[in-house]
A = this chain, B = another copy of it.
């Protein structure tokens, strides 16, 4: 939605490179050379450069003395990114409460929380993780908007784009669904509380709750890392990064 959908060469290079970085194919510190990449993608250096430039904006690459390198993330950085997300979401929640959130957005996030409930079946094995993941991402997106601040929403968006700061990154497919379900129950209760606090204009409480929510996510991540042998899919990068 935020992404310009263009099918130009730049976009293809952007998508391709982003994927390879998130996959872990391109490890942190790897220098990206324009010519080999251009040859690999069968395009000229120009759109490659353009794509790399945008990946710097996204925080996945860094500019070196000359050229670009893949940004390095260690376990410490992962933890810090989640901490940061919690702080920013806390701020968003507090400001939403203090300044009074747009009723429309408040209704929207309430609806999302309600819909999240439908992902939880009777049986723990019955949880709709995919749907939860999508709705959870929506929750955090709307939360970012609730403060009604372009500046804050923008920085929050930046942080969430860091490959692991996203709250949906910790929902791997096949990992011990029963105990994951436990985490999600807790997270869902927190969603409810955060929205309630904003509705009640209790800024400080909303902020504290949002921070706690992120702390839960961090614990989830630590759990995932601890069992990373059984991981596949979108979190593979984390498994590689923290090796």
**What is A's interface to B at a CB cutoff of 8 Å?**
4, 50, 53-54, 56-57, 63, 65, 76-77, 80-81, 83-84, 87-88, 91, 95, 147, 149-152, 155, 158-159, 162
With beta carbons under 8 angstroms apart, the residue of B50, B56, B87, B162 that contacts A87 is: B87
In this complex, what residue of B is CB-closest to A77?
B151
**Are B81 and A151 neighbours in the complex by a CB distance under 8 Å?**
yes
28 A-B pairs within 8 Å (CB atoms) are namely: A4-B63, A4-B65, A50-B53, A53-B53, A53-B54, A53-B57, A56-B57, A57-B57, A76-B149, A77-B149, A77-B150, A77-B151, A80-B150, A80-B151, A80-B152, A81-B151, A83-B91, A83-B152, A84-B91, A84-B151, A84-B152, A84-B155, A87-B91, A151-B162, A155-B155, A155-B158, A155-B159, A158-B158
Q: How far is the CB of A4 from chain B (nearest CB, A)?
A: 7
Which residues of B are found within 8 Å of A84, using beta-carbon distances? 91, 151-152, 155
Which residues of B are found within 8 Å of A87, using beta-carbon distances? 87-88, 91
Q: How far is the CB of A156 from chain B (nearest CB, A)?
A: 10
A91 to B211, CA, bound (A): 12
| A interface majority secondary structure | helix
Contact of A149 with B80 at beta-carbon distance under 8 Å, contacts A57-B56, A155-B155, A158-B155 already known: yes
A83 to B91, CA, bound (A): 9
Q: How far is the CB of A58 from chain B (nearest CB, A)?
A: 10
A213 to B53, CA, bound (A): 35
A155 to B4, CA, bound (A): 24
Q: How far is the CB of A217 from chain B (nearest CB, A)?
A: 15
Q: Could you say which of A65, A76, A83, A87 has the most chain B C-beta atoms within 10 Å of its C-beta?
A: A87
